[in-house]
Structures are given as structure tokens and as C-alpha cells.
Amino acid sequence: MTSATFTRRHALALATLSLAAIAAAPAAAQEWPTKTIKLIVPFPPGGPTDTASRVVGQKLAERLKQPVVVENRAGASGTIAAQFVAKSAPDGYTFMMLATPTLLAPHLYKSAGYDVNKGFAPVATVYDLPIVVVVNPTVMPDVKTLPELIAKAKAEGGKLNYTSSGPGSFGHLTMEMLKDLGQFDMQHIAYKGGTPAVTDLLGGQVPVMYADLVAALPHIQAGKLRAIAVGSPQRIVQLPDVKTIAEQGFKGFDAVSWGGLLAPAGTPKPVVDRVSAEVKQILADKGVQEQLVKAGAMAAYGDPAQMAERIRIDFDKWGKVIRDKKIAVN
């Protein structure tokens, strides 16, 4: 056998192997899924992250022809669930609904146990969760806009109190950033959870809260709380008459809590792309959008690359606030 003949045969063999490998990836994606898929939720049942997971999970099951089981693994701002998913096999059968608290937890917990930028494969953003500045109208009858709240805070020399769902919560971080931008001060009264914070807000013990829409909307609609600003870049459908923070003197202000699907790092790209495409179709459904709105959220699809970029931007942006304000929870 001549060297030329050997070289040609060697090249042909390599080409055949390469073509077989290329063909194998679509075949693997076509075979997936063949068994139950787990969707991990890092919070207890009933909240917007849980609701979004169940809505999307049900529709995914219908489209993929396999069961999608929603499993709640609550605790430590979602770090328990994130650790579990990061260590799970990257085989396309374990996903997690990431939410902003879990995204930011590595800045707040010394032993979060995962790298949000490297430990997961972004799949698709699913929802935005609007955040709203609310006041008790009985305690603050003259405060109807954000500039009026800022003026009152300045007049009281930093003695005015506000609350959120807890230290390091998105409401806490957003108000701290807003205080710097507006050059005013208020004191944060920390509660363990949104429910006790809203209870004392309604009772007048604390007059101001930066709350997620889920917790605040029923009381706004009942007239027990007054919404004076929303943190999203655009007004929201649930409160169309309430101006954004950007509209009230803070151009470009953007503070939105959100959620999206993650898989363990190394999950096959064809599987990630397939799930992302299915989620895109699911979120385009008007019925699904209405279900999310009822839960206080808004459908917001983003592809894997867009989700990865959103993770990076928010991780850095809010991490700076946490460091600058020396916020920690342990």
C-alpha cells in the first residue's frame, strides 16, 4: 500500500466518523425525552415562581409527550435548589426555574455553593415580576408620587422608614440604589418575608414599602395601599395609571425581578434549544399570558444567549449594590 493510498483512506475514515458524530447529535435530540422531567422550584408553593413553573411545566408536558414533575426545594433564597440542580446529571431531565433571589444569593451567602454564571446552562427567560413602591395612604395622605415621597424623606432628615420582604431582597436592593440616585435617605426595617412586611405596612407601623406586585396588588385594588411608582422601564398592565420611576425623574431606571429556566451545565445543546423553542411557543399563548398576569407576573421570553446576558448584567449590577451597601444575610 502506498503512502498516498493510506492517506486517502485515512482521510476518508476520519470524514466518515465526523459525519456520524454530526448525525448523532440530532438523533439524540430526537430521542429525548424518554422519561419524566423534573422542574425544580427554589421556593414554596403558591408564589409567582411556583405558579410560572406549574403553568410552563404543564404545557411542556403536553408538547414533549412526557410528564414534567414540579418539585419544590425551598430554603436559603433558593440556594438549596440551585446546589441540587448544579450537581444533577446534565442529561436533559432536570431543570430549575431561576428567580432573582437565587441569582443574587452568591453575593449574600458566603457558602451559596454554586456559580450562577458557569454552573448552569441558560434555557429561556419566562417571566418578569414587577416591583412597585407603595405607601400607606392613611399615614401618608399627601404622598401620591415618587418626587413627593423623596421630598418627605428629605424633610424628615433620613428618619422615614421603609420595608421590604427582607434584607438583601430585591425590594431592599432597589430602594438602596434609588436612594443613592435621588440623594435622599430612609431607614430599612427588615422583615422575614413579604407577608409580615405588608401586614405592618397596612397597620401603619411602617409607611413605605418596595414590594413585589403579587404581595401588594390586592391591597392596592382595595384602596388600602397606594402605588406611587413601578420599577420596570414601561408601565405595567395591572397598574396602567402608575408612572414608572424613569418617568418620575430617573431616566433609564430599570429594576425588574424575573425568572427563567436553567439546566445543569453541560446539558446537550440540542435539548436546551428544543426546550427554549417550546417555551417560546408556550409564552406566546394568550391563555398562558393571562395566567401569569393573574399571578402578578408578565410573560417575557428570552433565548439562551439573551438569558445568559441578563444573568451576567444583573449579577454584576446588583452585586455592586450589595458590596457598596455592605449587605449580607449571614
The confidence band for 328, taking pLDDT boundaries of 50, 70 and 90, is: confident
207 and 135 fall within a common domain: yes
What pLDDT shows up at residue 20? 45
Are 114 and 138 in a shared domain?
A: no
Task: Report the side by side order of strands in the sheet with 37-41.
Answer: 68-72, 37-41, 94-99, 257-264, 120-129, 298-302
For residues 62-83, give the mean pLDDT. 96
Does 222 lie in the same domain as 84?
no
The confidence score (pLDDT) of residue 194 equals 85
pLDDT tens, 236-250?
A: 999 999 999 999 999
Average pLDDT over residues 136-154: 97
Residue of 318, 317, 314 whose CA lies nearest to 125 = 314
What is the pLDDT, as a whole number, of residue 320? 96
The neighbouring-strand residues paired with 230 are 132, 244
Query: Model pTM?
Result: 0.87
Q: Which residue has the higher pLDDT, 217 or 17?
A: 217
Please check the confidence at residue 6 and state whether its pLDDT lies above 50: no
Residue 98 belongs to some domain of the structure: yes
Nearest 5°: phi and psi at 169?
-70, 165
Q: How many domains does the chain have?
A: 2
Reported as a single tens digit per residue, the pLDDT across 29-60 is 569 999 999 999 999 998 889 999 999 999 99
For residue 126, give the nearest of 235, 273, 261, 306 by alpha carbon.
261
DSSP character for 327?
A: -
Q: Last residue of a domain, which of 248, 280, 298? A: 248
In a domain, 6, yes or no: no
Residue 306: pLDDT above 90? Answer: yes
Write out the residue range of the structural domain in which residue 267 sits.
Answer: 34-128+257-324
Does residue 177 fall inside a structural domain? Answer: yes
Q: Is the pLDDT of residue 151 over 50?
A: yes
Long-range contact pairs involving 287-290 (C-beta distance under 8 Å, separation at least 24): 288/55, 288/56, 288/59
Q: What is the CATH number of the domain that holds 205?
A: 3.40.190.10
